[in-house]
Amino acid sequence: MQFDEKTLQSRLTGRRIGCRLHYEETVDSTNRVAMELAQGGAPEGTVVLADRQTAGKGRLQRSWQSPAGCNLYLSVILRPAIPPNDAAQITLLAGVAVAEAISAVCPERVGIKWPNDLLIGGRKVCGILTESRTVAGGIDSVIVGIGLNVNMVKADFDPAHRETATSLREETGREHSREDLLVLLCERFEPWYEIFLHDGFAPVREEWLARAEMAGKRLRVLFRDEVREGLFAGIDRDGALLIADEQGAVRRITAGDATIMKG
């Protein structure tokens, strides 16, 4: 079932997040479209929505499986008055907001894996990709891309991800309205964004840690050709991952692909 753009826009009227809806049936990447709109002066809170992506993007240049008619692919334009170095915190903020939205429709525990994955039962249900643009040393815009697996069934997933990915339909045994979920996402994103702007990262960090899938677990972090292993030790005030080695020394990691080690 296709999205009803007019109905969606009316449901989002008056909100900070969703103040303007830009819908296209098929795009290469909602993040790319949102970045172009932001450069053209689109207001904060503009949401770019697509039914299908032909070149959906994940972190570290990975692709994001984006078939038509079953999932949510959206990007939100933000223009926060924060130092450029704090832009990475918005990825974690988005994780908290999306986790709240998913929890409203899925009774299972929704966990967050640093920096941008949401998991149900250890399987990935959502990915977040944040990209920022700076002008004259300050932030011009931050684009928050969200890919949420909604109504895919196990057979729909690429065989390489069939055992590590999931969807809301797989977890709940029923189909979900993508329009309702979009509105719910915007409703949960808005207050967390306002808390972040008013009170800083600390409240976001506290909620993120409460939902951390990595708590008490050993991690392996790969960045380029470097591998680091250690026990999850939290995230710092900037949102960087902290891991402790066998001697108790804590390392701070700002980029990489973290996996939870089994056994």
Among 53-62, 109-118, 177-186, top mean pLDDT goes to 177-186
Mean pLDDT, range 171-190, rounded to an integer: 96
Residue 57 DSSP code: B
Share above pLDDT 90 across residues of the chain, in percent, rounded to a whole number: 74
Please say if the pLDDT value at position 37 is more than 60.
yes
The residue behind tokens 């029923």 is: 174
Range from 17-31, 54-68, 146-160, 169-183 carrying the lowest mean pLDDT: 54-68
Mean pLDDT, range 55-67, rounded to an integer: 59
Indicate the pLDDT class of residue 49, thresholds 50, 70 and 90.
very high
Indicate the pLDDT class of residue 58, thresholds 50, 70 and 90.
low
Share above pLDDT 70 across residues of the chain, in percent, rounded to a whole number: 95
Please say if the pLDDT value at position 60 is more than 80.
no
Indicate the pLDDT class of residue 248, thresholds 50, 70 and 90.
confident
Sheet with 110-113, strands from edge to edge, namely 20-27, 46-53, 72-78, 138-148, 123-135, 117-120, 110-113
Please say if the pLDDT value at position 1 is more than 90.
no
pLDDT tens readout for residues 64-100: 566 788 999 999 999 999 999 999 999 999 999 999 9
Position 155 scores a pLDDT of: 85
Q: Taking Cα atoms as reference points, which of 8, 51, 3, 5 lies closest to residue 30? A: 51
The pTM for the full model equals 0.93
What is the rounded CA–CA span in Å between residue 194 and residue 100?
15
Question: How big is the chain, counted in residues?
Answer: 263
Domains detected in the chain: 5-210 (3.30.930.10), 218-260 (2.30.30.100)
3-state helix, strand and coil shares in percent for the chain, rounded to the nearest 5: 30, 35, 35
- The answer to whether 218 and 227 have CB atoms below 8 angstroms apart is no
Position 244 scores a pLDDT of: 95
Mean pLDDT, range 132-161, rounded to an integer: 91
